[in-house]
Chains A and B, each alone.
Chain A
Amino acid sequence: GQSLEQPSEVTAVEGAIVQINCTYQTSGFYGLSWYQQHDGGAPTFLSYNALDGLEETGRFSSFLSRSDSYGYLLLQELQMKDSASYFCAVRDPLGFKTIFGAGTRLFVKA
């Protein structure tokens, strides 16, 4: 089966850089996606890596290494509004199911 592991919580200071890791066990996949969810809100798409390497979108970057079954989301110049839960996700290429990690709750402190 497919599974993704993320740290449950991360705390960082405003203005700092934080990295949220995601390791996965899959029999194959299309790529790794990242979503942000604020309390009481809907998940919103942040980034997608189909190939190995780094994808940059403003303050957020995402990295994928298929050989290491590992990816991460990098948030730079942290702001208080970045306090949220972050989920990595994959789609099973065989059954097409979408599988989300349990999520990492990021706390940004002043």
Chain B
Amino acid sequence: DSGVTQTPKHLITATGQRVTLRCSPRSGDLSVYWYQQSLDQGLQFLIQYYNGEERAKGNILERFSAQQFPDLHSELNLSSLELGDSALYFCASSQRGQETQYFGPGTRLLVL
């Protein structure tokens, strides 16, 4: 158990819908990262937040957005969902100045 929690574990929805994925980092970790992993694919970096502020942005679609709240939990919002958005979405957290990222169990999204 990494100490990072993600909800929900599974999500099934239809094309065109909007969903919100939630992540709580390890206690004391200020950085939160979001990744997308499609079937048998690598990890695609989406976005990173540090203490509430956006720190880095990857190839995140405009239909996707994220934020980190004052209590440091983070949410990833996916809208106008398409079939190709079906994937595992991981959240990770890290301590200030540390490269080690601790991953949550992921949210498996299926868009039908």
In the complex, the answer to whether A43 meets B103 with C-beta atoms within 8 Å is yes
Measured as residues with beta carbon below 8 angstroms from the partner, the interface class of chain A is 20 to 34
Q: How many residues of B contact A (CB 8 A)?
A: 23
Contact with B along A52-74 (1 / 0, CB 8 A): 00000000000000000000000
Cβ of B57 to closest chain A Cβ, rounded Å: 7
Write out the residue numbers on chain B whose beta carbons fall within 8 Å of the beta carbon of A42: 2, 90, 103-106
Cβ of A3 to closest chain B Cβ, rounded Å: 11
What is the bound-complex CA distance between A79 and B43, given in angstroms? Answer: 25
In the complex, the answer to whether B45 meets A98 with C-beta atoms within 8 Å is yes
Give the nearest-CB partner of A46 in chain B.
B100
Interface centre among A33, A91, A98 (most CB of B within 10 A): A98
In the complex with contacts A42-B90, A43-B90, A103-B42, A98-B57 CB distance below 8 A: no
Interface centre among B41, B43, B57, B105 (most CB of A within 10 A): B43
Write out the residue numbers on chain B whose beta carbons fall within 8 Å of the beta carbon of A48: 99-100
Interface of A is mostly: loop
In the complex, the answer to whether A33 meets B100 with C-beta atoms within 8 Å is yes
What is the bound-complex CA distance between A33 and B44, given in angstroms? Answer: 15
In the complex, the answer to whether B2 meets A44 with C-beta atoms within 8 Å is yes
Write out the residue numbers on chain A whose beta carbons fall within 8 Å of the beta carbon of B90: 42-43
Contact with A along B70-107 (1 / 0, CB 8 A): 00000000000000000000101000000111111110
Query: Known pairs A42-B104, A97-B57, A97-B58. 15 more at Cβ < 8 A?
Result: A31-B99, A33-B100, A33-B101, A43-B92, A43-B103, A45-B102, A87-B42, A92-B56, A95-B57, A98-B33, A98-B48, A98-B56, A100-B43, A102-B41, A102-B42
20 A-B residue pairs with CB within 8 Å: A30-B99, A33-B99, A42-B90, A42-B105, A43-B92, A43-B101, A45-B100, A48-B100, A91-B99, A92-B56, A95-B56, A96-B55, A97-B45, A97-B57, A98-B58, A100-B35, A100-B43, A101-B42, A102-B41, A103-B42
Which A residues are within 8 Å of any B CB, using their own CB? Answer: 30-31, 33, 35, 41-45, 48, 50, 87, 89, 91-92, 95-103
